[in-house]
Amino acid sequence: MTRRLTLLFLAALLPLLAGAGQAQAAGYRYWSFWERDGSAWTYATVGPSMSRPADGDVVGFRFSVSEDSGDAAKPRGASGFDTICAKTPAEDGTKRVALVIDFGTPADAPSGAQPPAGRTVCAQVAQDATTAEALASVAEPLRYDSNALLCAIAGYPAKGCGEQVAAGGKESAATGAADTEEEASAQDDGGSGPSVGLIAGAAVVVVLGAAAVWQVRRRA
């Protein structure tokens, strides 16, 4: 009987530990920056303010929730430079940069927001212009945070910047996540205290533990 109670104790403990792991943040909601290499997208190794594309280059931006660059969603669409910049003739002293701007899916959008339709646009800028300057010339307003992180393209999203997102898709950080004091309070409670499932699981463990102790004393 004691052995059976021990097994029940462990069976209750394992889901509890698993639930604690699942409660950790799943990723961040942000704009990722990409460069087109032939027909493939590669995650940019520098930020748009440090990147200086050449005439004929294709760059992309994708808004999504991802844990890191390894699982970041790529910009959708197969349009190349010749298609995007077909109606923009070359001019001396300038360069043309094709941009693919993917505002993501409703699942990646902040609460209550609806992502705009994706767009492709040709930016004609000075030869020494950065990707950030090319983007600003065709997709204002842009928004950056105090650390120069790109927060919004063409005003989307209206608020928030690289906020942490929990496994359920809800913001777990306070960075522009809550619209009201009640929402902020609810998020603070969820982030600093145990969940209902965690409390319930702990209660089961305590009950089984007490039963095991009672059984051992009874057999003594």
pLDDT one-digit tens code per residue, 40-87: 999 999 999 999 999 999 999 999 999 888 889 999 988 999 999 999
- Give me 167's structure tokens: 């496994």
Question: Distance between CA atoms of 137 and 175, rounded to whole angstroms?
Answer: 27
- Provide the 10 A C-beta neighbour count for residue 184: 13
Measured CA to CA, the distance from residue 38 to residue 90 in angstroms comes to 21
Q: Is the pTM of this model over 0.75?
A: no
Which two structure tokens, joined as six digits, stand for 220?
A: 């003594």
pLDDT band at 171 (very low <50, low <70, confident <90, very high): low
d(CA 16, CA 204): 10
Length of the chain in terms of residues written: 220
